[in-house]
Amino acid sequence: MKRREAREKAIQTLFQLDNTELSVDEAITYITEEPANPFYDMLVRGTVVNKEAIDSALTEKLENWSLDRLPKIERTVLRLAVYELLYNEEVPHRVILNEAIELCKTFGDEKSGRFVNGVLSKFAQK
């Protein structure tokens, strides 16, 4: 599984986990029947484990929005991207931003890509 595919599956898994009672293992099994890819597994589990810190960091960067008001796909993409920005030093920030925009194009629309880019660019400015 390539990293782009791992990110897409991670978005699907995290989207499913948002506001459900599924365990991480149940959600992973539902999305991918094959043995979990280490990168995919790291993205999902890392985002879930660090969700509170990620949400706190996101809340600081959102202007005129609360995390709860965000559409679910944008919130999910932002959480995954912020996880990578804060906890995965092996991937350049520019790549993470580009991947997040592409995920928005795949699962959302052009407007969601611009919104996510605007929020994430505030993290890259640090």
Q: What is the pLDDT of residues 16-29, one digit of tens each?
A: 998 788 899 988 88
For the whole prediction, is pTM greater than 0.95? Answer: no
Q: For the chain, what are the domain ranges? A: 3-124
pLDDT band at 78 (very low <50, low <70, confident <90, very high): very high
> What integer pLDDT is reported at residue 23 of this predicted model?
92
Tell whether the model's pLDDT for residue 126 goes beyond 60: no
What's the token pair of residue 99? 């991947």
| Multiple choice CATH, 3-124, 1.10.940.10, 2.60.40.1180, 1.10.1200.10, 1.10.150.130 | 1.10.940.10
Cβ burial of 60 (10 Å; 0-12, 13-18, 19+) is exposed
Tell whether the model's pLDDT for residue 34 goes beyond 90: no
For range 105-126, the mean pLDDT? 86
Instruction: Tell me what the pLDDT averaged over the chain comes to.
Output: 91
